[in-house]
Amino acid sequence: MRLHTIDIGGLIAPNNVFLAPLAGYTNAVFRQLCSELGAGLTFTEMVSAKGLCYNSRNTRDLLYVTPQYAGIKACQLFGSDPEYMRRAAASEEVAPFDLIDINMGCPVPKIFGNGEGCALMLDFDRASALIRAAKASGRRVSVKFRTGVSPEKIVTADFAKLCEDSGADMITVHGRTRDKIYAGEVDYGEIARAKAAVSIPVIANGGIFCAADAEKLLDETGADGVMVARGAMYSPWLIAELTGNPPPDRRAFVRRQLDETLALFGERFALVFMRKMAAFYTKGRRGSSALRTRLLSCNSIPDLYDMIEHTEF
């Protein structure tokens, strides 16, 4: 992996391996641990700009950052109303963040149906207005989007240029159309066309589950860096491999994640969340199907700790 810094409008990321914003997964503890493994940048889960304006407690909780987090603070906002985006970007809750990323790639029907996420790739004027509204906060702004909503409506290069012209300091391109969700081949050519269309940094996203995947993505697209998404859910230690850091003791990593998730979010959340994460971490292991079934049936924190102690990750 060819590591180098990334200049995001004067904000310098220490390397070009980023952790994607993952709804339901990239909470404060997971971001902290991935940052320690070497991620040059981590993002919060996507946060509703409108929810922030209405003082939603759940929305505010998504923006929590651990006191020991030493990396660049980046949050991801989503919405379709420029006024809500402007107010959210200028809010007290977003004030601690160095970078605001705008989600223009989420394929989920509810988000798409509200004119948010990937639906914004069908409305260039609104997408531009949202970027300009966020930029009015005085912070750096990035945009994450896909190649289009369908193979018949691919607009990657044009949308990339729109983002740059509207003031974006960086873009991330997920190399699939909205209809593909997270399946199918990554379109390297479309990411390369986005890279050729702009002068701001371009981060490539999609299909990174090992170091070879990351290398190929960079080689085929000419992108400035990579963003790891589901690969980090299954193997967060992939971050260490890509950044050349010592691999963690996996069992100790999972145990610590449980410790800190329990301390921060409480027993109920920690049990449900860490059963799910531990099950992800065993994917591909011999007998992993039966092991995941046992993990997901743990009904107490002590039982989960015991399972972790006797599981190979």
- CA 107 vs CA 104, 146, 271: distances in Å: 9, 9, 28
Residue 209 CB: number of other CB atoms within 10 A? 16
pLDDT for res 297? 85
pLDDT for res 191? 98
Closest CA to 195 of 166, 229, 170, 168: 170
Closest CA to 202 of 154, 153, 169, 243: 169
Residue 183 pLDDT level (bands cut at 50, 70, 90) = confident
**Whose structure tokens read 């059963």?**
275
Question: In this predicted model, what pLDDT tens digit does every residue of 39-80 receive, in sequence order?
Answer: 999 999 999 999 999 877 788 789 999 999 999 999 999 999
pTM of the model: 0.96
CA distance 120 to 142: 15
For the question of residue 298 being annotated catalytic, the response is no
- The alpha carbon of residue 77 and the mean position of all alpha carbons in its chain are separated, in whole angstroms, by 11
Degrees, nearest 5: CA angle 133-139-141? 65
166-183 burial code (b ≥16 CB/10 A, e <16): bbbbbbbbbbbbbbbeee
- 184 has a pLDDT exceeding 80: yes
- 5 has a pLDDT exceeding 80: yes
Closest CA to 172 of 198, 146, 151, 207: 146
Question: In this predicted model, what pLDDT tens digit does every residue of 92-129 receive, in sequence order?
Answer: 999 999 999 999 999 999 999 999 999 999 999 999 99
- The alpha carbon of residue 164 and the mean position of all alpha carbons in its chain are separated, in whole angstroms, by 20
Q: What is the mean pLDDT of the chain?
A: 95
Integer Rg of the chain from CA: 19
Total count of residues recorded for the chain:
313
Question: In this predicted model, what pLDDT tens digit does every residue of 81-92 receive, in sequence order?
Answer: 999 999 999 999
Residue 209 three-state SS: coil
Residue 77 three-state SS: strand
Q: Which residues contact 9 (CB under 8 A, 6 or more apart)?
A: 140, 169, 170
CA distance 255 to 48: 31
CA distance 63 to 122: 28
CA distance 249 to 65: 24
- 167 has a pLDDT exceeding 90: yes
CA distance 169 to 189: 22
CA distance 163 to 168: 5
CA distance 297 to 84: 41
Residue 182 pLDDT level (bands cut at 50, 70, 90) = confident
- Across 242-258, average pLDDT: 97
Percent of the chain at pLDDT exceeding 90: 88
Question: In this predicted model, what pLDDT tens digit does every residue of 260-292 receive, in sequence order?
Answer: 999 999 999 999 999 999 989 998 777 678 888
The residue annotated as part of the active site, out of 53, 75, 106, 298, is: 106
